[in-house]
Amino acid sequence: MSTLAKLRPEQVMRHQPPALLLGTIVESTATGLACDGIDDGPWRWARLLEGAAQVAGLLSGLQPGGPGAAAVIGEYRDVTLHARRHDGRVRFHAALDRCILGFWRCRVDARTLDGRLLLSGLVAVAPRART
Amino acid sequence: MSDPFARVAIEGDTGRGVVHREHALALAAGHFPGDPFLPGAYLVELMAALAERVAAPARVHAIVRCAFARRVRPDTEIVVTARAAGVLVEAQLAAGGEPAARATLRLA
């Protein structure tokens, strides 16, 4: 566990409730991050996807040379909805896949606490969005 | 999710939906204070909702790709269009008349 694990997502993210979907950081490495969801749901698939995007954004934003708190989502790719909805606790994982032209691509998933896969895919985090 | 659309028109394998402004405001709550725009995941959800109207009873199983071109403010008119072709649906979302997102969705 690195010092990142001592952070709370709300300390470094612009999201405020009800948009903030990340609770506690439970695991962090140089290229990966796992966070528990902020509540027990219900987690419809889009809320799971947004939580997965938030952990990807947090991971990317914390990288040296990363987009920081201004990160936005540029693209989703190959996202599979393994469940339409989940009631209960969830854990989000993000792992850095590659960085090209300022876009940080992460492999993400959302799982139940006993490891059942709810959603998986790729998220590209962009430095900032056009207004 | 409650019905996100104020108006929907389905014709054959295509559809067009105008998003309720109140729904858009709710989706953008907390994202972000002083600089509100809709999270990309919820834009995908809006496109999937129309896709499932067009392709009923099929449901969206996967997001093959969804790319975002600009921020979508909740106080702008948000219009979703979708066209089904076999197991795929091509969907687009415009905000204030400007293209904002494009997705390819896979049906199950």
**B34 interfaces chain A, CB cutoff of 8 Å:** no
Residue A87: count of CB within 10 angstroms of its CB: 9
Residue B22: count of CB within 10 angstroms of its CB: 12
Minimal C-alpha gap between B48 and chain A (Å):
10
* DSSP state string for A61-82: HTSTT--GGG-EEEEEEEEEES
Q: In whole angstroms, what is the distance from residue A110 CA to residue A37 CA?
A: 9
Q: Report CA-CA distances (Å) from A69 to A14, A15, A80, B55, B95.
A: 7, 10, 27, 38, 24
C-alpha of B100 from chain center: 10
User: Which letter does DSSP use for residue B37 in this model?
Assistant: -
CB contact under 8 A, B68 and A129: yes
**Residue pLDDT, tens place only, B13-33:** 999 999 999 999 999 999 999
Parent domain of B44: 5-107
Structural domains present in chain A: 3-126 (3.10.129.10)
Q: Which residues in chain A belong to E strands, given as ranges?
A: 22-28, 32-37, 43-44, 72-81, 85-86, 90-100, 103-112, 117-126
Domain count for chain B, please give it. 1
ipTM for the assembly: 0.97
The CATH number of residue B67's host domain is 3.10.129.10
**A73 interfaces chain B, CB cutoff of 8 Å:** yes
**Residue pLDDT, tens place only, B55-72:** 999 999 999 999 999 999
Q: Tell me the whole-structure pTM to 2 decimals.
A: 0.95
pLDDT at A98: 94
pLDDT at A47: 98
- Average of per-residue pLDDT values in chain B: 97
